[in-house]
Structure 1
Amino acid sequence: MKKLLFVLAALLLSQHAEAQLFSKERLANLETFDNRFLTWGYFLGFNNYDFNFDYIEEKENEQTDVNVESQSGFNVGLVGDMRINKYINLRLEPGLYFTQRNLMFTNFEDDKDRLRDVKSTYIHIPLLLKISTKRLNNIKPFIVGGISTSINLSSNENNPDDNKQGEFRTTNNTSYYELGLGVDFYLYYFKFTPSIRGVFATSDELVQDADPNSPWTSNISKMSSRGVFVNFTFQ
């Protein structure tokens, strides 16, 4: 009988704890925040960019593939959020993204020909659709997706020098599609949102060398960025 009473007491306590955690009895922060038509904020975060290369089939065996060494970069920007309904928001997140990728052309032995560093400073402008679940006390998970464009302030697209003079050239503008997920945390004074997003370029970023038989670029048909963004948003 004592064991039965102990089990019943434990079940009652666990049900009470579950009710406190998942029911509306728990104090909700920023209860009317999501009722606003427009909200604003800013984000800080990190990025890791890579390049994806497509090669010309008939030249695929003539030259070695390009190896990419990616490095972590830094993001900072603003957030504008427009409420469509209870579960869907339209977001604009313009930001400044700093990154660097090192390219290794393994068919060369001399470092001055083998290594190219690609430093990029992007003004990145995504238009995103955010689809959220029902708010659970002070958290609300979501998925996000959309399209974006960027302007590379470090681009040397119009530089007359190319790889023969040590300059690996990329285009000024790039277009992308993006997919990600995150969680909104409703704190006492503001909403805090960590999120992660995959970014995939749809346009070719390579500027070919002047020499049509260039040992650096002649076997590349397309070069596109892809990356991962980890952002921390404050609204």
Structure 2
Amino acid sequence: MIKSLSVLLSLIFLAIGVQAQGNWGGGVDDEPLHFGFTFQYIGSEYKIQKGLNWRDDIIEIDAAAGRPPIREQVKSISSTLNPGFGIGLLANLYVTKHLDLRFTPTLIFADRVIDYEFESGNSYEQETVKSPEGFTRRAVSSTMIDFPLLLKLKSERKGNFRAYLIGGLKYGFDIGAKKNADDADNTYFNKLLKNQQGIFSYEAGLGFDLYFEFFKLSPEIKIANSVNSVLRRGEDPYSTPLDKLFLRNFIFSLYFE
């Protein structure tokens, strides 16, 4: 994926290079308020804070009559970067020559994964999710509507190019959280890991405005971190060893204005 993004950016800069200097860019910089749309590639992972007693035995609380409860001890907990994508709209308000205010509501489809390794080597599969060998993987499927409010600090325009820094806050709401967290009929070690439905985050990054004749294209890279823990506790073995879970997203965006 990184190689594909590098090739795409190279082609964009090549196209800019063969254009005549001083492209109009659709005149968006001359408007006090203009609109656009965005496509995003997203990599999601958790920043994990384990509880003080995270290696204590986890004991099955709904064991069937006539057999002893299952006991497990956690050996390791880790999270790997998982891909997703988003599509969204853009409203850009001109503030000063070097500052814009941007609102970019975005619909995001992304799964977050966390892997548990038990001392026993046992694995407890989640339906539709393949665990790595020797691990138990829990995936949190999310369909988020993000509402970022960002400040864009712009450099001087040089020909068909302008660099900028961007940062701000956003609120995300998972519209599928309740449906995806329904595990009432699951046995104890087949329960799901659950996240909060509403998430506040801060994000920061950089980008480039590239001017074509009738539009402006802006490749942008950001990092977003949740302000609050996204962990939702329940009677399950997967939230028990955790103190807090923070969500971290790496976002590559293409804005068309």
**Aligned residue-pair number:** 208
Q: Please tell me whether residue 147 in structure 1 is matched to residue 169 in structure 2.
A: yes
Residue deviations 1:164-211, cap 9 Å, x none?
A: 24222111100000001000011001001100110000111111122x
Q: Please tell me whether residue 52 in structure 1 is matched to residue 63 in structure 2.
A: no
Whether the 8 Å contact between 1:197 and 1:230 is mirrored in structure 2 is yes
Whether the 8 Å contact between 1:70 and 1:100 is mirrored in structure 2 is no
Whole-Å separation in 1 of the counterparts to 2:214 and 2:234: 54
SS at match of 2:231: coil
1:220 matched residue in structure 2: 242
Whether the 8 Å contact between 2:44 and 2:249 is mirrored in structure 1 is yes
Whole-Å separation in 2 of the counterparts to 1:179 and 1:54: 23
Whether the 8 Å contact between 1:146 and 1:177 is mirrored in structure 2 is yes
User: What are the ranges of 5 or more consecutive residues in structure 1 without an aligned counterpart?
Assistant: 1-20
Shift of 1:123: 0.4
Shift of 1:103: 2.1
Whole-Å separation in 2 of the counterparts to 1:31 and 1:228: 29
SS at match of 1:148: strand
Whether the 8 Å contact between 1:47 and 1:229 is mirrored in structure 2 is yes
1:111 matched residue in structure 2: 124
Whether the 8 Å contact between 1:93 and 1:127 is mirrored in structure 2 is yes
Query: Which residue of 24, 28, 36 corresponds with 1:33?
Result: 28
Aligned identity (percent) is: 21
Whole-Å separation in 2 of the counterparts to 1:186 and 1:52: 37
Whether the 8 Å contact between 1:163 and 1:209 is mirrored in structure 2 is no
1:73 matched residue in structure 2: 84
2:206 matched residue in structure 1: 181
Distance 1:121 1:217, change over 3 A: same
1:18 matched residue in structure 2: none
Whole-Å separation in 2 of the counterparts to 1:112 and 1:75: 28
- Stretch of structure 1 that moved more, 111-120 or 158-167: 158-167
Whole-Å separation in 2 of the counterparts to 1:227 and 1:92: 18
Amino acid at match of 1:87: H
2:253 matched residue in structure 1: 231
If the length of structure 2 is used for normalisation, what is the TM-score? Answer: 0.74
Whole-Å separation in 2 of the counterparts to 1:222 and 1:130: 31
Whole-Å separation in 1 of the counterparts to 2:75 and 2:237: 9
Whether the 8 Å contact between 1:147 and 1:177 is mirrored in structure 2 is yes
Residue deviations 1:136-179, cap 9 Å, x none?
A: 11111000000001011221387473782422211110000000
Amino acid at match of 1:133: S
Whether the 8 Å contact between 1:129 and 1:145 is mirrored in structure 2 is yes
Whether the 8 Å contact between 2:183 and 2:191 is mirrored in structure 1 is no
CA RMSD of aligned residues (A): 2.3
Q: Return the index of the structure with the highest Cα Rg.
A: 1
If the length of structure 1 is used for normalisation, what is the TM-score? Answer: 0.81
